[in-house]
């Protein structure tokens, strides 16, 4: 029974009213505000116009009072209490944010202090026949933690280290500080009889010679002793079905299934993400007591940390196949998680798949994601690097109560997520090991490594017991002489953007070079990491996103309101990056174009470098895929699900077969082919150099045969040879597959700011009935941009380059399938307009 109706909320000052007064069933709450559950207080207040939209302008500061109040939720429901002696009732809160006390009919059931996990209360005696009143009190975070020790290192606010609450709610360098509160997941009342299924653990033990061995462990909890129980297990897909019955012995049973010719789960780029339906029915005699259903995938997953010669690697191996992990870091989809629709998850994961990504990293400062996230990754064939929720701080592992809370969290999370085939790796934290050593070496930390017991003792011990099927990695980054070493393990490349001076070794200071050269994306080429789990740079949000959230008269370059969108307060880094590549913007139009172009070309430069280095480098995850609010950040897709230029670039630079050019101004040109597919490819690579007026300067064809799952350099050319006397500032290079097996790839022999681009005149034909646009140009058009003032608009291509001899048709779609008005469509290029 869902308890999702008739909820009301109201706020009080701390200590204003006795708790039992408000929890009393006879307390009059007639004039409280109606509320949605699941949801959150801020969204309810916003809907009722009691606060201004916290995302607009500086309005988040105007709603700070919300965080300082005690908030109460109340509802009433009717229940017919006709329970047998062997039956009991459980009240389940899937998510309470965060410091909550629960009352039923005036009886205090207990308190909670963990947003990440569900909370269950036995209410068999407390529930009554007829009207029941449920009340939940939420204390302010600041009040709850006011007496806690916080005088040790923690980035982005010190309160958060004691709160098992989404850490980014306390503010991060890409999002605002908004401390949400409320019932953010479902509330249920469930009737139990005799026993219940506590958890099910299904895993692939082995795959050999077209046969898979699958083990299923079932754990139950009995309320009545002496009743012999059994479970009926069904495992099926469209082609096969397996059925077996097992007896429960001491609340546990194990079943092993041999499956001939299994349909394996693959990432979408290597095969089909086949799923089996698993059903477990718990019975006493012929009576059904409980059921459990989920989807599982038959697959093996390892992380190769040494190759056959003993060299360091960090390579994910799926079903025996070494893969290159291409993807991005995932942050929470909204600052207001309880109100975020499931469609938001489906859209973002579908967009990741369309960008040829095969891995997402759930970053350790957010949440263990909602079920819909993992279900979509399972179904769409995307691997998940799963962090535990500890990030950029020391955590009080010396406190017994805190550690008991964390233990309950870790156990709950492992049991909830371990059946998802998409989860490839568990990781203990984000950057804690690395930053602790860096800050201690610099003399900024003088305490022990608080939190170490969590990542290096508690979590691995629990995983060994509850999920030995996956690799555990203590931290990200981790490995080598400096946890951020390129020589072993995984690495976060923050030379680019943050200007970190690396490599370093344990005990050395981590320098910073905040200069054009120090933050330049060309530093990616120095990185020989085994696996880059974070790298990226800022770009402006799209015009619609900025205009919608900036007060009138503030949408201009240099305004305080525009700067407020950027929570990485060292704004000079973005200016220096643009200065080196595009030049410094003079107005907001140039800022949007230059920042997006720099991010797109920079991520292309980095990803192509990492892919060339396969298999020594075996993965690169961009920071970051998405945004939680309409700000300026490292994201590739902004808050309104409008992709930036880097997203459209990523569809090409992540392609399974990629023709690429390795080149820096003045150097030779090296032609490479990366083939991530599992079959050899034969093709003809056409190398072309054009003047901006469309004149062909140089052309050469290369017959290629590239082996499966390899990276190969096929030729080198000098600038002098390909330019044929033309200025490098006046040409564009195109790589083309004659058999159309790979995307076209464009390159420039000089930085954008040095190009002598002509003024282009675009011709645009809009075809509303087909939701299409046809574009051509009189001379080379750089960075052709289509814009519509609406959310969730996706173009088949955008921010592309166009030669004068060609015509491009762009299909336009709305993520929700709506028909789009094209009346306000604008088309421009960085060097021209329609």
Under a CB-based contact definition with an 8 Å cutoff, are residues 549 and 56 in contact?
A: yes
Rounded to whole angstroms, how far apart are CA atoms 76 and 130? 10
The three-class DSSP label of residue 317 is: strand
What are the tokens at 278? 């698993």
Query: Which of 182, 183, 179 is CA-nearest to residue 65?
Result: 179
CA gyration radius for the chain? 28
**3-state per-residue secondary structure call for 647-679:** HHHHHHHCCCEEEEEECCCCCCEEEEEEECCCC
8 A C-beta contact, residue 597 and residue 783: yes
Classify residue 373 as exposed, middle or buried by CB count within 10 Å of its CB (0-12, 13-18, 19+): buried
The CA distance from 421 to 779, in Å, is 50
CA atoms within 13 A on the CB side of 197: 23
In this structure, the dihedral spanned by the alpha carbons of residues 591, 593, 599 and 605, taken in order and rounded to 10 degrees, is -130
Give the separation between CA 448 and CA 776, rounded to whole angstroms.
63
Q: Which residues pair with 745 in a beta bridge?
A: 735
431 carries an active-site annotation: yes
Alpha helix segments (H runs only) across 566-639:
572-581, 588-612
Query: Given CA atoms 330, 335, 341, 347 in this order, what sign does their dihedral have?
Result: negative
Question: Which of 32, 127, 135, 126 lies closest to 78, judged by CA?
Answer: 127
As given in the structure block, the two tokens for residue 646 are 């880097």
273 contacts 364 by C-beta, under 8 angstroms: no
Q: Which of 67, 113, 369, 431 is catalytic?
A: 431
Question: On the CB side of 253, how many CA atoms lie within 13 Å of its CA?
Answer: 20
Residues making up the chain, counted from first to last: 834
Q: What are phi and psi of 608, to 5 degrees?
A: -65, -35
Please state, as a whole number, how many other Cβ atoms lie within 10 Å of the Cβ of residue 664: 13
Contacts of 323 (CB under 8 A, 6+ apart): 267, 270, 315, 316, 317, 358, 618, 676
Interhelix angle for 588-612 vs 645-653, to 10°? 20
Tell the residue number behind the tokens 């464009």, with chain if given: 746
Contact 259, 240 (CB under 8 A): yes
Strands laid side by side in the 87-93 sheet: 119-122, 87-93, 187-193, 195-208, 211-222, 252-260
- The rounded distance, in Å, linking the Cα atoms of 241 and 150 is 56
Helix or strand holding residue 620 (H, E): strand 619-622
Q: What is the dihedral of CA 469, 470, 473, 477, to 10 degrees?
A: 180
Q: Are 71 and 17 in contact (CB under 8 A)?
A: no
The residues, ordered by sequence, that sit 6+ positions from 462 with a Cβ below 8 Å of its Cβ are 407, 410, 411, 414
CA-based nearest residue to 621, from 613, 631, 611, 630 = 611
> Per the structure block, which two tokens stand in for 694?
């469309």
Q: Using CB atoms within 10 A of its CB, is residue 823 exposed (0-12), middle (13-18) or buried (19+)?
A: exposed
Among all residues, which ones are annotated catalytic?
Answer: 431
């Amino acid at each position: 029974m869902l308890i999702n109706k008739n909820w009301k909320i109201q706020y009080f000052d701390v200590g204003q009213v006795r708790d039992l007064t408000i929890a009393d069933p006879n307390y009059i709450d007639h004039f409280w505000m109606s509320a949605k559950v699941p949801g959150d207080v801020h969204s309810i207040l916003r809907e009722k116009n009691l606060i201004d939209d916290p995302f607009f302008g500086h309005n988040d500061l105007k709603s700070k009072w919300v965080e300082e109040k005690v908030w109460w939720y109340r509802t009433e429901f009717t229940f017919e209490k006709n329970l047998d002696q062997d039956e009991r009732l459980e009240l389940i809160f899937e998510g309470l944010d965060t410091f909550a006390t629960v009352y039923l009919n005036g009886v205090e059931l207990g308190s909670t202090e963990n947003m990440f996990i569900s909370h269950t209360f036995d209410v068999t005696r407390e529930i009554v026949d007829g009207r029941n009143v449920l009340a939940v009190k939420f204390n302010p975070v600041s009040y709850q933690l006011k007496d806690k020790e916080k005088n040790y290192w923690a980035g982005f606010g010190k309160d958060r280290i004691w709160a098992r609450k989404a850490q980014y709610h306390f503010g991060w360098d890409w999002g605002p500080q908004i401390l949400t509160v409320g019932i953010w997941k479902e509330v249920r009342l469930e009737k139990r009889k005799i026993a219940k299924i506590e958890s099910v653990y299904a895993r692939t033990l082995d795959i050999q010679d077209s046969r898979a061995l699958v083990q299923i462990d079932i754990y139950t909890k009995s309320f009545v002793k002496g009743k012999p129980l059994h479970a009926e297990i069904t495992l099926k897909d469209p082609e096969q079905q397996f059925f077996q019955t097992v007896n429960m012995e001491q609340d546990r049973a194990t079943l092993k299934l041999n499956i001939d010719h299994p349909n394996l789960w693959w990432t979408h780029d290597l095969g089909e993400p086949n799923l089996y339906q698993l059903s477990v029915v718990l019975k006493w005699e012929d009576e059904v007591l409980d059921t459990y259903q989920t989807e599982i995938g038959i697959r093996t997953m390892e992380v190769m940390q040494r190759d056959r010669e003993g060299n360091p690697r960090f390579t994910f191996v799926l079903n025996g196949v070494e893969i290159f992990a291409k993807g991005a870091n995932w942050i929470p989809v909204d600052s207001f998680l309880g109100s975020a629709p499931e469609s938001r998850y489906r859209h973002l994961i579908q967009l990741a798949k369309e960008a040829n990504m095969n891995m997402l990293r759930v970053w350790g400062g957010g949440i263990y994601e909602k079920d819909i996230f993992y279900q979509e990754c399972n179904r769409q064939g995307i691997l998940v690097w799963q962090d535990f929720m500890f990030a950029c701080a020391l955590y009080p592992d010396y406190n017994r109560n805190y550690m008991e809370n964390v233990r309950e969290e870790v156990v709950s999370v492992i049991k909830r997520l371990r059946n998802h085939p998409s989860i490839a790796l568990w990781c203990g934290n984000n950057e804690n090991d690395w930053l602790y050593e860096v800050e201690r070496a610099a003399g900024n930390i003088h305490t022990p490594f608080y939190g170490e017991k969590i990542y290096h003792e508690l979590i691995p011990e629990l995983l060994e017991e509850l999920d030995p099927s996956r690799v555990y990695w203590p931290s990200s980054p981790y490995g080598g002489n400096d946890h951020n070493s390129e020589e072993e393990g995984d690495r976060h490349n923050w030379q680019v953007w943050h200007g970190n001076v690396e490599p370093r070794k344990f005990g050395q200071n981590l320098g910073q070079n905040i200069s054009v050269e120090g933050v330049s994306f060309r530093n990616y080429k120095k990185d020989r990491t085994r696996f880059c789990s974070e790298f990226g740079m800022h770009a402006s949000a799209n015009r619609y996103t900025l205009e919608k959230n900036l007060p009138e008269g503030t949408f201009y370059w240099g305004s305080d309101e525009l700067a407020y969108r950027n929570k990485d307060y060292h704004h000079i880094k973005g200016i220096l990056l643009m200065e080196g590549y595009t030049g410094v913007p003079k107005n907001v139009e140039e800022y949007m174009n230059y920042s997006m172009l720099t991010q797109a070309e920079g991520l292309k430069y980095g990803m192509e470098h990492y892919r060339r280095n396969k298999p020594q480098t075996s993965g690169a995850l961009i920071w970051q895929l998405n945004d939680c609010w309409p700000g300026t950040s490292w994201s590739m897709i902004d808050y309104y699900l409008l992709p930036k230029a880097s997203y459209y670039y990523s569809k090409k630079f992540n392609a399974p077969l990629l023709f690429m050019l390795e080149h820096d101004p003045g150097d030779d040109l090296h032609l490479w082919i990366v083939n991530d597919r599992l079959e050899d490819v034969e093709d003809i690579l056409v190398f072309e150099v054009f003047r901006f007026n469309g004149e062909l300067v140089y052309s050469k064809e290369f017959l290629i045969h590239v082996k499966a799952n390899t990276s190969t350099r096929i030729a080198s050319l000098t600038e002098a040879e390909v330019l044929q006397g033309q200025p490098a500032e006046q040409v564009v290079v195109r790589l083309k597959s004659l058999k159309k097996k790979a995307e076209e790839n464009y390159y420039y022999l000089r930085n954008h700011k040095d190009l002598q681009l002509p003024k282009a005149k675009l011709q645009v034909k809009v075809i509303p009935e087909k939701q299409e646009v046809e574009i051509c140009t009189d001379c080379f058009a750089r960075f052709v941009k289509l814009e519509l003032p609406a959310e969730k608009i996706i173009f088949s291509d955008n921010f592309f380059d166009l030669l004068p001899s060609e015509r491009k048709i762009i299909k336009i779609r709305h993520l929700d399938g709506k028909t789009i008005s094209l009346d306000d469509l604008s088309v421009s290029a960085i060097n021209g307009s329609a």
